[in-house]
Structures are given as structure tokens and as C-alpha cells.
Amino acid sequence: MGADCVIADPNHTGQMIYAVSPSGSTEVGLYEGASINPATSTQLQPATYDDISMLQATSSGAIFFIGTVSGTSYLYELANGAVTEISQADTAASTIDGTIIAFTMPGSSGDLLYVMSTAGGGTPTLLVGTGNNLYPAFSKDNTKIVYSGDNMSGSSTPFDLYEIPTAGGTPTQITNTPTLSELGASFNGNGTELSCVLLSSDSTQCGIGVISGSTETLIVNDTNIPTTTYWTTSSGRGIGVHSAASHFQRLKGFRPRRVKRRAG
């Protein structure tokens, strides 16, 4: 059985958290188990969603995810057995400890980037209010966010990578590739490299790239690839929680999210 998305469970060795439609259902639920099999796994959320994506597990035990209901996507937090709807959102990320979340929410001309503390019912702070912005990810020290943005300068404009301090400030452009989009970036453990999905403007070339300084290297050439990436430890556990990165691994089983472009 395939899964809509799956991540290593950072708090239980050998376990994974995954989203899948159980037998006889067209809707998606959330499960935890050693294999992708709802019959032998613990149900975390019943199959009531049209789609689940952007799974994020934290060291505190909280799980963040994007759930689509009746065609609209929302950011949810699952903690202590209770699920809380945080905001409408298309893409999202949490810090390793789950104390801060970043998410993109539709605006008048594209998705805007927000950041928010999860403590005490925090209020979202607008970080990037122009262009179309997707797939935020935190550095492992929580001080900066990398995201994909296209500045809405044309319908064929590719997404480049940008970096902005979590506390706010002016975004810094990391890549400038006129015919290539960089999506779903992730920092390695010490913040010296980024992994991302590469997609050409004509959609004929796709793969996984690693960015180190000004050098961008294609390490996997595959046109059927997810739109998010993450780094793992040598034991294969995601460094969303464990930051001693030693190698890169693609997120298997994740249904690609189509990039949304809105008329500006």
C-alpha cells in the first residue's frame, strides 16, 4: 500500500507517521506504525480529509500537517490526542521543538508567508507580503527560514529560493535560475547546505539538487519526484528533530503538490 506522505517518527525508533486512505475509503487519515498498513497501525486521525500533506513531527510529540477539507487546505496541530485548526494554509513547517511555525496563506495575488509562536495561542506575523511564496523550512537553530518565491513577475517565472530571518527582515535571494524552479528546500544540520527539488520551466526536467554556497548540484535526476526534501541521520531518521546530518534522503511516497499560481 502506498501513502500520500510519510515521515520517520522522531520519538519512536522504527516507527513512521503516514497519511493514507484505508481500505474502502476515499478520504485520508493519519496513522503511526512500523509499516504502511492501517490495520496494524495506530490511528492518529480518522479518514476525514480529502488530502494530507506537509507532515512535520516535533521533539515535543506534536504533529503539524496540512489537511484539505472540501477543497480548502488548513494547517492543523495534533498534540496530546487533540487536533487544532490553526489557519488556512497551502504549505507549512515547524521548528524542531514545535515552538514556532511558518506557513503560506493565500492573499490577493499569491501565497503570503507568515510566522507564529505556538505557545499561548500566538498571533501570525506577516514575513513576506508580496509575490507567491511556498514551502517554508526552518534552519535547525530556528533563526532563519528558507522558502520558494516567484515574485509574480510573469506566469512562467520560476520559483527561486529565498532566506529570511525568523524574527523578520529583508529576504535574501539564494538562487537565480531563469529556467529552473527550486522547491521544497531544507537546511542540513549545520546550515551550510540546502537540498531542494529542481523543476525546469517546461516540466521536462526534475530531480533533487544540493546547494552549497553558489554551487547547485543535481544529485538525483527523476521526473517523478516529490516537492519537498529532508535530511536524515546515518540511521535514516529525519533531522527535523535530530540535527546531526550525514546524508540526504528523499521523502518517499509523497504525492506531489501542484504549484499554485494566481493571477496578480
pLDDT digits (tens, 9 = 90+) for 126-160: 999 988 999 999 998 999 999 999 865 545 578 99
For residue 52, report the phi and psi dihedrals to the nearest 5 degrees: -130, 135
Instruction: Summarize pLDDT for 29-79 with one digit per residue, the tens.
Output: 999 999 999 999 999 999 999 999 888 888 888 999 999 999 999 999 999
Buried/exposed 148-171: b ≥16 CB within 10 Å, e otherwise: bbbbbeeeebbbbbbbbebeeeeb
Give the span between the Cα atoms of 100 and 140, in whole angstroms: 12
Query: Does residue 262 register a pLDDT over 70?
Result: no
97, 99, 100, 105: CA torsion to nearest 10: 100
Asked if residue 256 has pLDDT above 60, the reply is no
CA neighbor of 94 nearest in space, from 61, 123, 121, 120:
61
For range 91-97, the mean pLDDT: 91
Give domain 5-250's CATH superfamily.
TolB, C-terminal domain (2.120.10.30)
Terminal C-alpha separation, the chain:
40
Phi, psi (deg, nearest 5) at residue 7: -135, 155
Q: How far is CA 242 from the centre of its chain?
A: 17
Q: What is the pTM of this model?
A: 0.82
User: 133-137, 180-184, 205-209, 246-250: which has the highest mean pLDDT?
Assistant: 133-137
The 3-state secondary structure of 196-240 reads EEEEECCCCCEEEEEEECCEEEEEEECCCCCCCEEEECCCCCECC
* Under 8 Å between Cβ of 49 and 43: no
Q: Write down the pLDDT at residue 74.
A: 96
Can you give the residue ranges of every domain in the chain? 5-250
Alpha-carbon distance 256 to 178, whole Å? 22
Is it the case that residue 255 has pLDDT exceeding 60?
A: no
